[in-house]
Each structure stands twice: as C-alpha cells, then as structure tokens.
Chains A and B, each alone.
Chain A
Amino acid sequence: NAGVTQTPKFQVLKTGQSMTLQCAQDMNHEYMSWYRQDPGMGLRLIHYSVGAGITDQGEVPNGYNVSRSTTEDFPLRLLSAAPSQTSVYFCASRANYGYTFGSGTRLTVV
C-alpha cells in the first residue's frame, strides 16, 4: 500500500512547454484532488474528481486540465506553462479518516 504517489518530484519547464504531473493512489479512493502551494497563500484547490469520469474545477483552474479515466490515476496537465505556475503541487485522495497527500511536485517555469 503505497498511498498517494506523485511523479516527478522536481521539474523545470520553459515558458510555453507542456507537461503532465502524475498522481496515483492504490487505496481505491473515489475522491482525488490537486492543490498548489505558494508562499503566504496556503494551499489552493485546482481541480478535483469524485470518481472515474467525473472532474470539476476548484478555486484556481485556469491553465490546467485534468481527466480521470481510472479510479487510481488523476493526472494534471499544463498545456502551455507560464512563470505564474511556478509552485509546489500536491495531489490528495480522501479516506474515511481524512485526506491523504502525496509528497509533491516542485515545478519551476522559466
């Protein structure tokens, strides 16, 4: 039982490049979500999903896309990276006792 796994741990992108941040969980949780963490801002919700085939926007969805084809995976796509997307990204899933977070992806856009 690996919990919530995120890859990569670090990434540097050039402005305009695209990439996908991976998130996988092996706990059969229906609910998954993506947050970004910025200094002084706490964590802000980007997108979330309550099950395979169901996604919705959070507080800061612009510039990001998601899909949920399986219960296990919830990738986050940056279509055209911008310096404002420099951040630490966390994926989370929901268990009965609370939310479990991945170890994060530190993204820098130059």
Chain B
Amino acid sequence: AQRVTQPEKLLSVFKGAPVELKCNYSYSGSPELFWYVQYSRQRLQLLLRHISRESIKGFTADLNKGETSFHLKKPFAQEEDSAMYYCALNYGGSQGNLIFGKGTKLSVKP
C-alpha cells in the first residue's frame, strides 16, 4: 500500500542554518510528489512539485527513486520559514488522491 513517512515531528534550527525535512514514500507505481506548507492556522500552500524542479522561497527537493525519498532542503533558514510542512503523494494520476505524511513542524530560532 502507498504510504508517506515524515520521520521528524519537530525540527528546530537557528536562522541561517541549513534545513533538511525528510520524506520517504512507499508506492509501486510512478509517484507524483509534493511539498505543502501551512503557516499558522492557514490553508495549505503548494511549495514544490517534483516534476517542476523549481526553487520556491529558496527550497528545493529532489526525487530519489532508488531511496524512495523526496527530502526538502534549504541552505539558509529564515525565521519566516517557521511553519508546518507536509509531504504528499498522488497515487492515481491526473484524477488521483493525495496521501499525506503526518507533517514536520519547522521552528527557526533567531
């Protein structure tokens, strides 16, 4: 069965430090992976999609099919990056459903 695992519930770093939020997935097909960010009590916002290979707000993520991972990285964390981050897997194509990890709360200290 498909599954998304985010092993860290909380990640705390200092401003300017590198950040890596881990995401591992289990899926036998060709995955479509996303990172969503949720600032305090707001809607989920799309941060990255693995196909686009863009860098949004300084964040990047590379799909590693061999390790079944899609880790989110940023070289220098900012205080405004403090938020909840969710990794999500679409397992059903263009009309498919998302399955989410349980999320990692990132706290960036001044």
Contact = CB atoms under 8 A, between A and B. Distances in A.
Contact of A33 (B34, B43, B46, B97): B97
Given A31-B95, A50-B95, A94-B95, A40 B46 contact: no
Q: Is the interface of A mostly helix, strand, loop or mixed?
A: strand
Nearest to A31: B95
User: Which of B34, B43, B49, B88 has the most chain A CB atoms inside 10 A of its CB?
Assistant: B43
Interface in A85-103: 90, 92, 94, 96-103
B46 A99 contact: yes
Contacts, number: 51
A104 B43 contact: yes
B102 A90 contact: no
B30 interface: no
B43 A90 contact: yes
Interface string B71-87: 00000000000000010
B25 to A, nearest CB: 13
A64 B90 CA distance: 23
Interface size range on A against B: 20 to 34
Given A94-B95, A98-B34, A40 B9 contact: yes
A58 interface: yes
11 contacts: A30-B95, A35-B100, A40-B102, A42-B101, A42-B103, A45-B97, A45-B99, A50-B95, A58-B97, A90-B44, A98-B46
Interface of A: 30-31, 33, 35, 40-45, 48, 50, 58, 90, 92, 94, 96-104
